[in-house]
C-alpha cells in the first residue's frame, strides 16, 4: 500500500497547467469532477493528531501530511465512483445500523460526549463512516471474488512459513474462581471425589470453572512454580489475589508441536488472501489513476525550494504507471480511453513545476482491515 500511495501522489505532479481557472472556495482537489473539500483534509488531519502536541507544526510538515491525506481521499473518491457505477453503495438503513452498532459500545450519552470532547462534527464523522463502509464492501464484493488461492500456493506458503505454525509447550488448565473461599473448597472436594473434569466444568456450584490452554511462558511466575510440582489431574491449594479465591487443576501438558496443514489452512488462506487482495487493489488503482482527471490546488504544493527533492522522489513511480497497459481494464471490467491525467491549479502567486509534492511519510492506509473511522477516538 505504501507503493500505491507513492504512485497516487506521484501522478499528482505529472502535469502542470499554469492557465487553469481559480477553483471555487473550499475545494482543494477534484477527481473526475468529484470535489474534495478542505474540511475533509482538516478532519482527517485532526483524527491523526487527537493528542495535543507541545511542538508547533511547521508549514512544510503540514503540507507533507496534507499531501498524504489527499492521496487517501483521492483513492476513496475513485473507489466510491466505482461502487456507484456498480450500484453497491450502502443504503441509509445499512449506515444507520452501522452507526447504531458503534453507539452500542458506549454507555448512554458517552458517544455524543466523545464527539464534543474531541471537537468532531457528527455529520463529518458519518461521512467518514460511509466512506470506510464503501471501502470494506469494495474489498469484499468486488476484489475478493477475483482472488483465487490454489492448493499448491497454500502448500508452498505452509512450507516457507512453517515457523508460524509451530506451537510451543502448553498447559491445559481448569481454573476455579469465587469470591468466597468455601465455594472453591467445595468445588475442589467434589472434583477430588470423582476426578470428573467434564462434570466439574458443567457444574461447579457457586464457583466459576473454566478451561484454558496457555503457553508455559505466559503463566504468572507464581502459577508456573506451583504447576511445575503437579501431575495431570492434581490441583493447587486455594490461592487468593485481587480477583478472588481460586485454584488451578492441571489437565494435561501439551508438548511442542507443528500445526498440521489441514488445521493451518484457514490461517494460510487468510494470509494469502490479504496478499492477493493488496495486489488486486494496486492493479485496479493504478489503472484508475492513469485514466482519471485529477486537479489539485497548488496551495497544497511546497515552494520552489522544495520542488527538486519531490521531483526526484516521484519520477520512478510515475514511470511504473506509465508502463501500465490496457490489460489493467480487466480488473474493473470496463473499457475507457486514456484519461486527461492530473492538472495542477496554481495559486496566482506561484509557479508550478513537476515534482512539487514531497515524498509521503512511511505510513499508508490499510483498506482491507477494520475501518479507522468507525469509532471516534476516546
Provide the pLDDT for residue 69: 85
Region of poorest pLDDT, from 25-34, 63-72, 132-141, 254-263: 63-72
Domain segments of the chain as ranges: 2-149+262-374, 169-255
The mean pLDDT value of the chain amounts to 75
Give mean pLDDT, residues 338-359: 38
Q: Is 345 helix (H, G, I), strand (E, B) or coil?
A: strand
Of 296, 289, 362, 377, the closest CA to residue 331 belongs to 289
18-39 per-residue burial string, b: 16 or more CB within 10 A, e: under 16? eebeebeeeebbbbeeeebbbe
CATH class of 2-149+262-374: mainly alpha
Q: How far is it, in rounded angstroms, from Cα 251 to Cα 195?
A: 11
- Domain 169-255 classified CATH 3.20.20.60? no
Give the pLDDT confidence of 166-188 residue by residue, as tens digits: 889 999 999 999 999 999 999 99
List of residues 6+ apart from 264 with CB closer than 8 A? 158, 165
Torsional sign, CA 194, 199, 203, 207? positive
Give the pLDDT confidence of 293-329 residue by residue, as tens digits: 988 877 665 555 444 444 443 332 322 222 333 333 3
Give mean pLDDT, residues 194-217: 87
Q: How far is it, in rounded angstroms, from Cα 125 to Cα 73?
A: 14
Q: How far is it, in rounded angstroms, from Cα 132 to Cα 269?
A: 24
Q: How far is it, in rounded angstroms, from Cα 274 to Cα 59?
A: 37
Region of poorest pLDDT, from 5-19, 83-97, 167-181: 5-19
Give mean pLDDT, residues 216-223: 84
Region of poorest pLDDT, from 56-60, 66-70, 300-304: 300-304
Give the pLDDT confidence of 140-166 residue by residue, as tens digits: 999 999 999 998 999 999 999 998 898
Is the separation of the CB atoms in 17 and 345 below 8 Å?
yes
Provide the pLDDT for residue 24: 66
Between residues 170 and 120, the one the model is more confident about? 170
Q: What are phi and psi of 107, to 5 degrees?
A: -65, 160
Torsional sign, CA 291, 296, 301, 307? positive
pTM, full prediction: 0.57
Angle at 14 between CA 320 and CA 84, to 5 degrees: 80
Amino acid at each position: 500500500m505504501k507503493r500505491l500511495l507513492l504512485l497516487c501522489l506521484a501522478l499528482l505532479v505529472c502535469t502542470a497547467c499554469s492557465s487553469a481557472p481559480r477553483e471555487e472556495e473550499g475545494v482543494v482537489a477534484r477527481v473526475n469532477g468529484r470535489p474534495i473539500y478542505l474540511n475533509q483534509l482538516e478532519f482527517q488531519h485532526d483524527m491523526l493528531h487527537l493528542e495535543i502536541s507541545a511542538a508547533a507544526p511547521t508549514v512544510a510538515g503540514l503540507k507533507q501530511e496534507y499531501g498524504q491525506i489527499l492521496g487517501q481521499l483521492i483513492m476513496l473518491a475513485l473507489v466510491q465512483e466505482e461502487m456507484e457505477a456498480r450500484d453497491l453503495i450502502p443504503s441509509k438503513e445499512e449506515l444507520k445500523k452501522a452507526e447504531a452498532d458503534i453507539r452500542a459500545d458506549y454507555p448512554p450519552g458517552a458517544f455524543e460526549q466523545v464527539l464534543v470532547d474531541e471537537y468532531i462534527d457528527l455529520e463529518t464523522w458519518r461521512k467518514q463512516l460511509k466512506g470506510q463502509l464503501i471501502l470494506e464492501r469494495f474489498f469484499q464484493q468486488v476484489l475478493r471474488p477475483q482472488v483465487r488461492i490454489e492448493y499448491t500456493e497454500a502448500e508452498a506458503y505452509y512450507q516457507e512459513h512453517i515457523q508460524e505454525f509451530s506451537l510451543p509447550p502448553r498447559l491445559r488448565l481448569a481454573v476455579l474462581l469465587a469470591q468466597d473461599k468455601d465455594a472453591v473448597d467445595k468445588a475442589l472436594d467434589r472434583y477430588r471425589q470423582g476426578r470428573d473434569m467434564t462434570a466439574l466444568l458443567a457444574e461447579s456450584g457457586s464457583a466459576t470453572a473454566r478451561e484454558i490452554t496457555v503457553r508455559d511462558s505466559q503463566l504468572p511466575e507464581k502459577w508456573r512454580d506451583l504447576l511445575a510440582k503437579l501431575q495431570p489431574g492434581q490441583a493447587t491449594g486455594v490461592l487468593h489475589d485481587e480477583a478472588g479465591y481460586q485454584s488451578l487443576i492441571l489437565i494435561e501438558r501439551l508438548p511442542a508441536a507443528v500445526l498440521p496443514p489441514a488445521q493451518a489452512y484457514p490461517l494460510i488462506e487468510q494470509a494469502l488472501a490479504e496478499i492477493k487482495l493488496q495486489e488486486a487493489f494496486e492493479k485496479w488503482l493504478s489503472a484508475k489513476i492513469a485514466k482519471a482527471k485529477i486537479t489539485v490546488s497548488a496551495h497544497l504544493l511546497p515552494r520552489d525550494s522544495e520542488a527538486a527533492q519531490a521531483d526526484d522522489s516521484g519520477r520512478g513511480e510515475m514511470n511504473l504507471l506509465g508502463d501500465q497497459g490496457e490489460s489493467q481494464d480487466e480488473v474493473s471490467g470496463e473499457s475507457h480511453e486514456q484519461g486527461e491525467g492530473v492538472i495542477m491549479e496554481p495559486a496566482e502567486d506561484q509557479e508550478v513545476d513537476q515534482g512539487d509534492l514531497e515524498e509521503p511519510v512511511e505510513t499508508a492506509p490499510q483498506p482491507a482491515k477494520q475501518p479507522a473511522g468507525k469509532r471516534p477516538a476516546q
